[in-house]
Amino acid sequence: MLNKKKRSTPEVDSSSMADIAFLLLIFFLVTTTIASDKGIMMQLPPEAPPEPVDIKKKNIFKVLVNSSDLLLVEEQPMKIEDVKEECKKFLTNNGKDPKSSDSPQKAITSIKTDRGTTYAVYIEVLDEIKKAYHEVRAEHVGITLQDYLTLDKDDKDGADYEKYQKAKKAYPMQISEAKPSGK
């Protein structure tokens, strides 16, 4: 029998592994972009308070959301699904009902929440109100809601821009968001 010598297994020098890991970490930190949330696109009021404007109470469509996420619309309990239709009635009243808005240009939708109102319900109510505005605007220019939402608002020479401006002028989106009440 042949005498076999035990061979020692070669070892990998691991002293540079920490350096390589550190360099890879730096590389990924430098080259990675962090996605930022865009949030809700809303125009904030100016810093200086505007001059007080005399607004008739009948021209304000009041939506109150309490801390239990229950709605009170025009002093009547209501489900979120019904807010859009009530808002559309208010916007298109044109003085027919003496207790409702005089005209779409004078109509203001006011949303007031409580400190305990959940963010999801607030967004859902705001979406329903915006849907009401978009639907009456689309009806005003004689197109479907889907066509209205896809209008090219940036091409100032196109027919889409004219339709959008006509709808916007007829039904200006005037939404007032009051400070939340409660503790």
Whole-number pLDDT of residue 124: 93
First to last CA, the chain: 92
Considering the domain boundaries, does residue 7 fall inside one? no
With respect to residue 24, please indicate whether it lies within any of the assigned structural domains.
Answer: no
Nearest to 81 by CA among 122, 128, 118: 128
Given a cut of 70, whether residue 6 has pLDDT beyond it is yes
Quick: pLDDT tens for 116-153. Answer: 889 999 999 999 999 999 999 999 989 988 988 888 88
Q: What is the pLDDT of residue 126?
A: 93
* Strands 76-78 and 71-73, bridge-based pairing: antiparallel
| Residue 87 contacts residue 129 (beta carbons within 8 Å) | yes
pLDDT at 1: 55
What average pLDDT does this structure show over 96-112?
87
Q: Which domain holds residue 66?
A: 57-177
Total of domains in the chain = 1
Q: Is residue 4 a part of any domain in this protein?
A: no
Q: What is the pTM of this model?
A: 0.70
What pLDDT does 156 receive?
Answer: 79
Asked if the structure places residue 146 within a domain, the reply is: yes
Question: Within a domain: residue 8?
Answer: no
Question: Averaged over 83-91, what is the pLDDT?
Answer: 91
